[in-house]
Amino acid sequence: MRSLTNDQKIYQTLRLAVAMCFIGHGCFGIITKQIWCNYFGVFGIGKEMAYTLMPYVGIVDILMGVSMLVYPTRAIAAWLVVWGLATASMRPLSGEPFAEFIERAGNYGAPFALLLVQGGWFPLGKKQWLARMDDNVSINAETLAKVITWLRLFAFLLLIGHGWLNLIQKQGLLNQYHALGFGDPAKTAQFVGLFEVLAALTVLIRPFKNILLVFIIWKISSELFYPKYEMFEWIERGGSYGVLLALWLAVKKAPAGYILWPFKHTSHLRAS
């Protein structure tokens, strides 16, 4: 990783993040996670059929994730943006809080940012969509500005979404805090929720490099404490880590003193 340029680190970070997200998500299909029945139910699919279909959905997810490690293409990344949005949407559509959708901004944000790093969504020929992505990518000033803007938005959403879930005291989070030995899980959730909302606003308004590092460490470590399927949950949140880490790398590339608010594209960013 040390031999890579900063641009290549941004690209490789997002690539790994996308792979982690969909491999982790696919594992839940293989083990037939019960809550998935609710999401199949949005389409009128009963529990018996849902359990039959889950492993197939999981296998496809894992294959898509592995493909981003072995032979990343724009076509797969674009599909994962659509699929990430669709699966995140199933949560509020099945009756869960809307915060569950925005908290998963990393799922669709990481592949979206990866496409931006590779040149964006402009019309491409079939061969370009199916060709291997450029591992020796070089991000110009205009593209970097777009990448920073979108990463900030996705980072804001995933942080404020998780903070929101804490503030409304999602039962799963309360269970985590109880398992970790906190005497008053509700108060802990309120404290964590306030911290994450403030973190989200900080990222949106002015993402300082050193503060971003704190948020990266917080996100990576705080996702380790699920009472069940810990490793799968942690891997699936790869999109969240990737968005934050890629944003940190992108901000590092910006010139000293560069004002990152308000959102705007600028030619004053270094193109190397």
Residues 6+ positions from 258 with CB-CB distance below 8 Å: 266, 268, 269
Q: How far apart (Å, rounded) are the C-alpha atoms in residues 223 and 104?
A: 13
> Is residue 271 over pLDDT 70?
no
Both tokens of residue 64? Answer: 């898509």
116 in helix, strand or coil? Answer: helix
Both tokens of residue 147? Answer: 């990448």
Q: What is the CA radius of gyration of the chain?
A: 19
Mean pLDDT of 16-34: 94
Mean pLDDT of 142-150: 90
Q: How far apart (Å, rounded) are the C-alpha atoms in residues 154 and 157?
A: 5
Confidence of residue 243 (pLDDT cuts 50, 70, 90): very high
- Please provide residue 132's backbone torsions phi and psi, each rounded to the nearest 5 degrees: -65, 140
Query: Helix, strand, coil: what percent of the chain each, to 5?
Result: 70, 0, 30
Residue keyed to tokens 């949140």 = 237
The most confident of 68-82, 129-143, 222-236, by mean pLDDT: 68-82
Q: 47-61, 129-143, 202-216, 224-238: which has the minimum mean pLDDT? A: 224-238
132 in helix, strand or coil? Answer: strand
Q: How far apart (Å, rounded) are the C-alpha atoms in residues 33 and 25?
A: 10
pTM of the model: 0.90
The residue that leads in pLDDT, 224 or 33, is 33
Mean pLDDT of 191-208: 94
Confidence of residue 233 (pLDDT cuts 50, 70, 90): confident
- Helix 185-205 vs helix 209-222: crossing angle, to nearest 10: 140
For residue 132, the cross-strand partners are 73
Confidence of residue 227 (pLDDT cuts 50, 70, 90): low
Residues 6+ positions from 238 with CB-CB distance below 8 Å: 16, 17, 18, 19, 20, 21, 24, 106, 110
**What's the CA angle centered on 174, arms 84 and 96, to 5 degrees?**
40
| Cα-Cα-Cα-Cα dihedral sign, residues 26, 27, 32, 37 | negative
Q: Cβ(205)–Cβ(261) under 8 Å?
A: yes
- Please provide residue 256's backbone torsions phi and psi, each rounded to the nearest 5 degrees: -60, 135
Q: Which residue from 16, 2, 5 is spatially nearest to 241, judged by alpha carbons?
A: 16
CB atoms within 10 A of CB 88: 20
Q: What per-residue confidence (pLDDT) applies to 231?
A: 81
Looking at every residue in the chain, the average pLDDT score rounds to: 89
First-to-final CA distance of the chain: 17
Q: What per-residue confidence (pLDDT) applies to 207?
A: 87
> Is residue 260 over pLDDT 80?
no
